[in-house]
């Protein structure tokens, strides 16, 4: 049985995370016992695996420049080989 960490919010506005099976969409709020619904969470980005230091203020700019450079390299490759 694989458990996944999901975000939940109850009808009283309490937000929390809970490890549940993927088919669980509502649970009881641990604070007020009201119905809590599973929320859509933002995706996690591992900047270090992408070669960018997230602590550096210009990390997003560096990532953008790397993507632009990669696109230019692919474009020049396509021009040479087609």
pLDDT in tens, 35-55: 999 998 777 777 677 766 666
- Say whether pLDDT at 81 is over 70: no
State the pLDDT confidence band at 1, using cuts at 50, 70 and 90.
confident
Q: Is 6 strand, coil or helix?
A: strand
The answer to whether the CB of 9 falls within 8 A of the CB of 37 is: yes
Q: Which two tokens stand for residue 43?
A: 């995706």
Chain position carrying tokens 């396509």: 78
pLDDT (tens digit per residue) in 7-36: 999 999 999 999 999 999 999 999 999 999
Q: Which residues contact 59 (CB under 8 A, 6 or more apart)?
A: 47, 52, 53
């Amino acid at each position: 049985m694989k458990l996944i960490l999901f975000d939940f919010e109850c009808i009283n506005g309490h937000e929390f995370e809970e490890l549940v099976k993927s088919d669980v969409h509502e649970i009881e709020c641990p604070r007020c016992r009201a119905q809590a619904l599973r929320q859509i969470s933002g995706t996690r980005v591992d900047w270090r695996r992408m070669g960018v230091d997230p602590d550096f203020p210009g990390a997003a700019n560096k990532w953008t420049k790397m993507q632009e450079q990669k696109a230019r390299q692919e474009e020049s490759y396509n021009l040479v080989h087609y």
